[in-house]
Amino acid sequence: MTPSRVRRLVATALLLATSACTPEPEVAPNVLWIVWDTVRADRLGVYGANRPTTPNVDRWAEGALIFDDALAIAPTTVPNHASMFTGRTPSEHRSTNAEPRLPGTYPTIAQKLRQAGYRTYLWAANPHISKASRFARGFERNEHPWDFVHQKRAVELARRKGEGDRSGLAEELDRDGRANVWAVKESGTLAQSSMLQWLDAQPDPDPWFAFFNYMEAHRPISPARRFREQVMDPEQVDASYALDRGWDTTWNYTFGRLELSDEELALIAGAYDAAIAELDDLFAQLMAELEARGELSNTVVILTSDHGEHLGEHHMLDHQYSLYEPVLRVPLVVHFPKRFPAGRETRPVMAFDLYPTLLELAGLSDQIEDDSRAVSLLAPREQRVRFAEYRAPFGSPFRNLRKKDPDFDASPWRRRLRMIRDDGYKFIHGGDGRHELYQIAVDPGEQNDLLAEESARAEGMNEELGALFGELEAIARTPTGRSTPLPVADRQRLEALGYGEADADDASAGDGAAGSASGDGAADSAADPGETGAEAQ
pLDDT digits (tens, 9 = 90+) for 358-369: 999 999 999 998
With beta carbons less than 8 A apart as the criterion, state whether 286 and 57 touch: no
Give helix 396-404 / helix 247-254 axis angle, nearest 10°.
Answer: 90
Closest listed residue to residue 126, CA positions, set 178, 170, 191, 63: 191
64, amino acid identity:
A
With beta carbons less than 8 A apart as the criterion, state whether 378 and 360 touch: yes
The CA distance from 347 to 127, in Å, is: 33
pLDDT, position 422: 93
Mean pLDDT of the chain: 85
The CA distance from 101 to 135, in Å, is: 7
Helix, strand, coil share (%) of the chain residues, nearest 5: 40, 15, 50
Task: Encode burial over 496-535: b for 16+ CB neighbours within 10 A, e otherwise.
Answer: bbbbbbbbbbbeebbbbbebebebebeebbbeebeeebbb
In a domain, 494, yes or no: yes
> What is the side-by-side order of every strand in the sheet holding 386-390?
386-390, 417-422, 425-430, 436-439
Cis peptide bond upstream of 79, omega within 30: no
The CA distance from 81 to 86, in Å, is: 8
Q: pLDDT per residue over 369-408, tens digit each? A: 888 999 999 999 999 999 999 998 888 899 889 999 999 9
* Residue 337: partners with Cβ closer than 8 Å, 6 or more residues away: 63
Strand, helix or coil at 122? strand
In a domain, 339, yes or no: no
Number of Cβ within 10 Å of residue 456's Cβ equals: 9
Stretch 82-98: mean pLDDT: 92
Determine if residue 216 is left, alpha or beta; phi over 0 gives left, psi from -120 to 50 gives alpha, anything else beta. alpha
pLDDT, position 173: 63
pLDDT of 204 over the 50 cut:
yes
pLDDT, position 477: 72
In a domain, 170, yes or no: no
The continuous run of DSSP H or E covering 472 comes out as: helix 455-475
Stretch 522-527: mean pLDDT: 31
The CA distance from 226 to 223, in Å, is: 8
Residues in a beta bridge with 95: none
Q: pLDDT per residue over 447-491, tens digit each? A: 999 999 999 999 999 999 999 999 998 888 755 433 445 555 555
Residues in a beta bridge with 122: 142, 211
Residues in a beta bridge with 340: 336
Q: Which residue has the higher pLDDT, 321 or 27?
A: 321
The CA distance from 389 to 88, in Å, is: 13
Stretch 32-54: mean pLDDT: 97
Q: pLDDT per residue over 17-30, tens digit each? A: 433 444 455 789 99
In a domain, 461, yes or no: yes
Give alpha helix (H) positions in 257-386.
262-292, 325-328, 354-361
The CA distance from 474 to 454, in Å, is: 30
In a domain, 341, yes or no: no
Q: Which residue segment(s) compose the domain that 438 sits in?
A: 396-508
Stretch 279-286: mean pLDDT: 97
Say what the pTM is. Answer: 0.87
In a domain, 430, yes or no: yes
Number of domains into which the chain is organized: 1
